[in-house]
């Protein structure tokens, strides 16, 4: 590590240290904003490249850059990755002994550190604050800034105390970064972190490399197993709604020969850590988890995120699905969508201890994820619209691959709406279904609903078909559900249809039949089809990386990222100059690993194999 190494420009650092050629999106402007002493608020999706926005200034500033980050595991991983790049980074968290803390402070005072990662708890402590007063600080970067807001799902009270930075260090630039922040959360971030005058950078939420799929729940375990088998050489996360379900699914996958681990708050800390580390190190295992497996995941090569249960809100979904494909290579998001779950989540929100405002807020977010699941247009367009952005069709989601066939469902929907109205908007979907299908259930008889004029009006439809229509009109916002008792309600959108003023078209064959995700023909786009020679080279580089990771005590991707390996295998650089052109190979890696990599590549280079595919075909540049 050479902290005194001086670089001229941000681009110089990007090329020489990180081995990347050009900035992405607003990175360069953000870097200039903080370098010129201004505050900035950055809203950028996961994988967008937020870290470089403070890591590059850190190497250009005289003083140190303090990065506030919520989790120790996250910090450790980032620090290790930076150290592999030759950057003088360190961290301070509660797991350090007093002696280690003292040593870290000494290193900082001797100008041996450029980047200090610290948890908010530690930063707010007296000892750290006193120390920071004596230090030349050039920038405060507040990562995962949405933790400041109780509207968000990762609220941390300690984050709110960061407002002391505003008073104690008023002239030091503050850079807040997050991947999720709706208007409420943004206001909180600006308020607590004193960013009202900051320059706001709002990157698009578009994640081009993610293909989105929604499958209707239908033998959910088998659907999951088929999917996981399709991606058996890749890493993925399966999200479940409860600890019990995590354990059940993990066991189920294990029994079917899948290398999976569990993660939830009910496991003891050491087990969680072991499973987390195992997943980080592995190239092809599955993590079955509750949302407790969240903030700390910085694994770039997660190829899919499968929601076995429905996410609680559009924000949860965006955040969780965004953990796929951080390395920019193709990845898949799947939601296994069941109507019953909606009722469960809705009930949970209603029965929570939150105040009415927060409940309404959460119900609105739930409604959005339901709209996403029920969308008949391109999923990407639907998702971005729900997040307040316009986009273009992706051509690779379930709805793009297999356009849903719509039919005029106005008459059926009118019958349903009329029945809901006639029973006083007090009954559930199953009761409405019974009436329309002339089923003399106990409840129908008790309430004498067999006397209604709509009784038996949909006898030709199966229970499943009728339920599907009800689900679709709910997803489209044409009816509401009272979650306290699951009763169906009419709303503003119901009336024009009921009165015959508007037609409605619904999906005839739903996503039900589409069990394969991520492909047109069963071959996953995320599976990189290697030739025989490439396969051998790939295996050799993987095992070399594995040994190096063990030797350096870091994660695999801190040695080489998936994308770097991809370029190495496809481009086969056989000298230093060509190698330095490879994605992610900066000066330090070239010096440290260059000869060994060239040697491995040369062993395979006697063959003059020509690939037809372009090297970038599977990559998102
Ligand atoms: P975020 O924190 O926004 O989720 P990261 O900072 O972890 O994203 O960046 C995601 C990946 O993209 C990392 O592997 C990072 O090194 C890489 N990356 C970031 N900026 C660039 C760039 N300009 N060119 C190439 N790769 C980049
Ligand atoms: Zn699409």
> Which tokens is 164 given?
């002391």
- Characterise 373 by phi-psi region: left (phi > 0), alpha (psi -120 to 50), beta (else): alpha
pLDDT given for residue 441 in this prediction = 94
273: which residues sit within 8 A by CB, 6+ positions away?
A: 73
> Which ligand is in closest contact with the Cα of 213?
2
pLDDT given for residue 117 in this prediction = 97
pLDDT in tens, 375-434: 999 999 999 999 889 889 999 999 999 888 889 999 999 999 999 999 999 999 999 999
Phi–psi pair at 313, nearest 5 degrees = -160, 170
Q: Is 325 in the pocket of ligand 1 (CB under 6 A)?
A: no
> Which tokens is 521 given?
């023909």
Q: Is 563 in the pocket of ligand 1 (CB under 6 A)?
A: no
Question: pLDDT category, 509, cuts 50, 70, 90?
Answer: low
482: which residues sit within 8 A by CB, 6+ positions away?
A: 489
pLDDT in tens, 110-162: 999 999 999 999 999 988 999 999 999 999 999 999 999 987 767 888 898 99
Could you identify the atom of ligand 1 that is nearest to the CA of residue 561? Answer: 14
> Which tokens is 534 given?
């490439």
Could you identify the atom of ligand 1 that is nearest to the CA of residue 18? Answer: 16
Q: Which of 530, 603, 592 is nearest to 17 (CA)?
A: 592
Spatial strand order in the sheet of 235-239: 210-216, 331-337, 302-307, 235-239, 286-289, 260-263
Q: Which of 207, 206, 202 is nearest to 325 (CA)?
A: 207
Lowest mean pLDDT among 116-125, 310-319, 387-396, 504-513: 504-513
Taking the alpha carbons of 237, 239, 243, 244 in that order, is the dihedral positive or negative? negative
Instruction: Report yes or no: 278 and 270 within 8 Å, Cβ to Cβ.
Output: no
Residue nearest to atom 18 of ligand 1 (CA): 49
Q: How far is CA 102 from CA 96, 97, 106, 562, in A?
A: 10, 9, 6, 37
Rg of the chain over Cα atoms, rounded to whole angstroms, equals 27
CA of 350 to the centre of ligand 2 (A): 33
Question: pLDDT category, 607, cuts 50, 70, 90?
Answer: low
What's this model's pTM, rounded to 2 decimal places? 0.81
> Which tokens is 133 given?
């007063």
> Which tokens is 560 given?
């080489």
Residue nearest to atom 25 of ligand 1 (CA): 20
Q: Is beta strand 89-92 parallel, antiparallel or unpaired with respect to 479-482?
A: unpaired
What are the beta bridge partners of residue 619?
329
pLDDT in tens, 435-481: 999 999 999 999 999 999 999 999 999 998 999 899 899 998 999 99
Q: Which of 11, 21, 24, 52 is the best mutation target for the ligand 1 pocket, counting ligand atoms within 8 Å of the beta carbon and taking the most? A: 52
396: which residues sit within 8 A by CB, 6+ positions away?
A: 211, 525
pLDDT given for residue 562 in this prediction = 84
Residue nearest to atom 17 of ligand 1 (CA): 49
Terminal Cα distance for the chain, rounded = 30
Write out the DSSP string of 68-86: E-S-HHHHHHHHHHHHHTT
pLDDT in tens, 234-270: 999 999 999 999 999 999 999 999 999 999 999 998 9
Instruction: Report yes or no: 148 and 165 within 8 Å, Cβ to Cβ.
Output: no
Write out the DSSP string of 535-573: HHHHHHHHHHHHHHHHHHTS-HHHH--HHHHHHHHHH--
Residue nearest to atom 14 of ligand 1 (CA): 327
Helix, strand, coil percent content, the chain, rounded in steps of 5: 45, 15, 40
Q: Is 44 in the pocket of ligand 1 (CB under 6 A)?
A: yes
Instruction: Report yes or no: 67 and 144 within 8 Å, Cβ to Cβ.
Output: no
pLDDT in tens, 94-113: 888 889 999 999 999 999 99
Question: Residue 340: is its pLDDT beyond 90?
Answer: no
| Tally of CB atoms within 10 A around 266 | 15
What are the beta bridge partners of residue 505?
408
Place of tokens 């496809």: 570
Compute the CA torsion angle 347, 350, 353, 358 (nearest 10 deg): 130
- Looking at residue 67, the DSSP 8-state letter turns out to be E
Mapped onto helix, strand or coil, the DSSP state of residue 141 is strand
Question: pLDDT category, 233, cuts 50, 70, 90?
Answer: confident
Q: Which of 429, 524, 479, 21 is nearest to 228 (CA)?
A: 524
Calpha distance 45→282 (Å, rounded): 25
pLDDT given for residue 299 in this prediction = 86
Question: Residue 330: is its pLDDT beyond 50?
Answer: yes
CA of 324 to the centre of ligand 1 (A): 13
Domains of the chain, with CATH numbers? 10-202 (3.40.50.300), 210-401 (3.40.50.300), 406-507 (1.10.10.10), 528-607 (1.10.150.80)
pLDDT in tens, 27-80: 999 999 999 999 999 999 888 899 999 999 999 999 999 999 988 878 888 999
């Amino acid at each position: 590590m050479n902290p005194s190494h001086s670089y001229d420009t941000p681009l110089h650092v990007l090329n020489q240290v990180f081995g990347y050629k050009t900035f992405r999106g607003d990175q360069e402007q953000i870097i200039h904003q903080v370098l010129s002493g201004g505050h900035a608020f950055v809203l950028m999706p996961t994988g967008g490249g937020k870290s470089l926005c403070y890591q590059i200034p850190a190497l250009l500033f005289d003083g140190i850059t303090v990065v506030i980050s919520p989790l120790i595991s996250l910090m450790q991983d980032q620090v290790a990755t930076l150290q592999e790049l030759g950057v003088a980074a360190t961290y301070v968290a509660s797991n350090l002994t007093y002696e280690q803390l003292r040593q870290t402070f000494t290193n900082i005072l001797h100008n041996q550190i450029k980047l200090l990662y610290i948890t908010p708890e530690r930063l707010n402590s007296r000892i750290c604050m006193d120390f920071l007063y004596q230090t030349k600080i050039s920038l405060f970067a507040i990562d995962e800034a949405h933790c400041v807001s109780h509207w968000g799902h990762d609220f941390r009270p300690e984050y709110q105390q960061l407002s002391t930075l505003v008073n104690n260090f008023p002239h030091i630039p503050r850079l807040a970064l997050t991947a999720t922040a709706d208007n409420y959360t943004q206001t909180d971030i600006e308020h607590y972190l004193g960013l009202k005058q900051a320059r706001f950078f709002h990157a698009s939420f578009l994640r081009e490399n993610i293909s989105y799929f929604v499958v209707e729940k239908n033998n959910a375990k088998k659907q999951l197993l088929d999917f996981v088998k399709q991606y058996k050489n890749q890493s993925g996360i399966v999200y479940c709604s409860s600890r019990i379900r995590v354990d059940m699914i993990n066991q189920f996958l294990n029994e079917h020969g899948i290398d999976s681990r569990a993660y939830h708050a009910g496991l003891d800390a050491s087990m969680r850590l072991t499973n987390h580390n195992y997943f980080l190190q592995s190239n092809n295992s599955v993590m079955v988890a509750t949302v407790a497996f969240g903030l700390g995941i910085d694994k770039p090569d997660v190829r899919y995120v499968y929601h076995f249960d429905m996410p609680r809100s559009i924000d949860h979904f965006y955040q969780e699905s965004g953990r796929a494909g951080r390395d920019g290579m193709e990845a898949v998001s799947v939601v296994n969508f069941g109507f019953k779950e909606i009722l469960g989540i809705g009930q949970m929100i209603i029965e929570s201890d939150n105040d009415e405002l927060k409940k309404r807020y959460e119900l609105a977010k739930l409604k959005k994820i339901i709209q996403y699941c029920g969308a008949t247009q391109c999923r990407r367009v639907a998702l971005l619209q729900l997040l307040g952005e316009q986009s273009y069709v992706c051509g690779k989601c379930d709805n793009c691959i297999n356009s849903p066939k719509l039919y005029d469902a106005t008459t059926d929907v009118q019958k349903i709406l009329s029945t809901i109205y006639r029973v006083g908007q007090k009954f559930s979907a199953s009761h409405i279904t019974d009436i329309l299908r002339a089923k003399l259930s106990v409840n129908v008889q008790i309430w004498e609903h067999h006397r209604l004029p709509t009784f038996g009006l949909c006898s030709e439809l199966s229970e499943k078909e009728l339920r599907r229509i009800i689900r679709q009109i709910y997803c489209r916002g044409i009816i509401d559900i009272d979650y306290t008792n699951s009763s169906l309600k009419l709303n503003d959108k119901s009336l024009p249809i009921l009165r015959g003023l508007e037609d409605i078209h619904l999906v005839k064959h739903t996503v039900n039949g589409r069990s394969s995700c991520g492909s047109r023909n069963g071959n996953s786009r995320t599976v990189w089809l290697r030739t025989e020679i490439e396969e051998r080279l790939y295996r050799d580089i993987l095992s070399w990386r594995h040994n190096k990771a063990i030797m350096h005590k870091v994660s695999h991707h801190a040695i080489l990222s998936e994308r770097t390996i991809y370029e190495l295998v496809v481009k086969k650089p056989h000298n230093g100059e060509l190698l330095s052109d490879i994605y992610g190979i900066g000066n330090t890696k070239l010096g440290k690993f260059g000869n060994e990599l060239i040697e491995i590549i040369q062993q395979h280079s006697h063959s003059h194999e020509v690939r037809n595919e372009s090297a970038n075909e599977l990559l998102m540049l």
